[in-house]
A and B are shown apart, each in its own frame.
Chain A
Amino acid sequence: MSDAGIPQRVQRFITTHIDSLEKLEVLLLLRARADREWTASAVSLELRITDASAASRLEDLTNHGMLVSDGATPPSYRYSPASSEDVQAVTELAEVYSVKRVSVISFIFSRPLDKVRGFAEAFILKKDKDGDG
């Protein structure tokens, strides 16, 4: 469980919005190609994941305020975070991910699986890493 070198803001963003590697890749893809709209099948083709996965990630990211959907059937999505805080966070995230891929991936997988576990983990006094902010 090493998050050495991942800035606090990015950590917080990941913990709040990113629950899987797939979701991270989808988010970064839409951000890198913000010039166009993406449907689930386009994303699934690009990232080589299933249509259903892509659709569900896109839906989640929209609900979290990272993307906007045009509401058509099938819906297209565009990268458009609701707050400038988020824009900043994703920019930093993209940077860190390009430089410290393994750290980011480990961090994503070290998230508490659910809120129940998160409550229990709050009582752990020392973490396995050097300073958590």
Chain B
Amino acid sequence: MLKPMLNGAVSMAWLACALFFLRFWVQSKDRLFAFFALAFTVLAGNSVVASLLDADDERRHYIYVVRLFAFLLILYAIWDKNRAGRRGTG
């Protein structure tokens, strides 16, 4: 009973952070924030999915793909930021 609640709390927190990044993206037009917003939304989804799958469910192991996607987004955001230089708008 505790586990879904904690996972839900984590998910909600990541979603809230994603919303902030969304706002920063709108304010600053910096692509980095769009990627971060997306990444944190995916992390939120990851938490929810982890909660829905039982411990024995074989599909559980594929959750890592979701997590991978989130972190690849973050890596891409950093790479993109350094490629574009100081301007980094868009």
Contact = CB atoms under 8 A, between A and B. Distances in A.
A contacts B directly in the complex (CB < 8 Å)?
A: yes
Contact of A117 (B30, B77, B82): B30
Contacts of A117: 28, 30
Interface in A99-133: 116-117, 119-121, 123-126
Interface residues of B, number: 12
Contacts of B14: none
A81 B18 CA distance: 40
A120 B33 CA distance: 8
Contacts, number: 28
B81 interface: yes
Interface string B21-43: 00010011010110000000000
A122 B88 CA distance: 13
Contacts of A125: 78, 82
A2 to B, nearest CB: 13
B24 A124 contact: no
A124 B81 contact: yes
Contact of B28 (A116, A123, A124): A116
A120 B82 contact: no
A123 B24 contact: no
B77 A116 contact: no
B75 to A, nearest CB: 11
A120 B81 contact: yes
